[in-house]
Amino acid sequence: MEVPRHWRLNKQRYALQGEVCPHCDAKIFPPRDVCPECGGEAKTPFTFSGQGEVYSFTSYSNAPTGFEEQAPYTVAMVKLNEGPVVTAQLTDLGAEPVRIGMPVEMVTRKIRNDGSEHGIIVYGYKFRPVMQN
């Protein structure tokens, strides 16, 4: 990934920032500038709570190029409390089995090295089970 694009996506990757439609109040992630619900202009920033639940999931044992060191791993569709569904890797699972409806929270983790001569380490959001007190 080129360096300018990496920096452009920082708010989206590290703060789970999307947009909210001022016309219909739909929460949008990733940001699109046009509301998929009503078609109105939606440029108002909105930071999601990072809380949600597993909507669906799958596990990978044969990882694609660049992710081999992480295999095996689990990727989930996470329905955020505010509505949108995002796809992300699950982390910090320990012995806990993944299940539909499992409460999860966003954390920032290493995604991968970009493999270039610049040696950029790409960080982004993943989700872990909500820690019970």
Instruction: Name the more confident of 115 and 15.
Output: 15
pTM greater than 0.85: no
CA distance 110 to 128: 14
How is residue 12 annotated by DSSP? H
Contact 7, 58 (CB under 8 A): no
Identify each DSSP E strand in 2-133 by its residue range.
17-20, 27-28, 33-34, 41-42, 44-47, 51-60, 73-80, 85-90, 103-113, 121-129
pLDDT at site 12: 55
Q: Is the pLDDT of residue 1 over 50?
A: no
Q: What is the pLDDT of residues 40-82, one digit of tens each?
A: 998 899 999 999 999 999 988 887 776 777 778 899 999 999 9
**How many Å separate Cα 112 from the centre of its chain?**
14
How is residue 3 annotated by DSSP? H
Q: What is the pLDDT of residues 101-130, one digit of tens each?
A: 999 999 988 777 666 666 677 778 899 999
Q: Give residue 46's identity as a one-letter amino acid code.
A: F
CA distance 46 to 76: 22
How is residue 55 annotated by DSSP? E
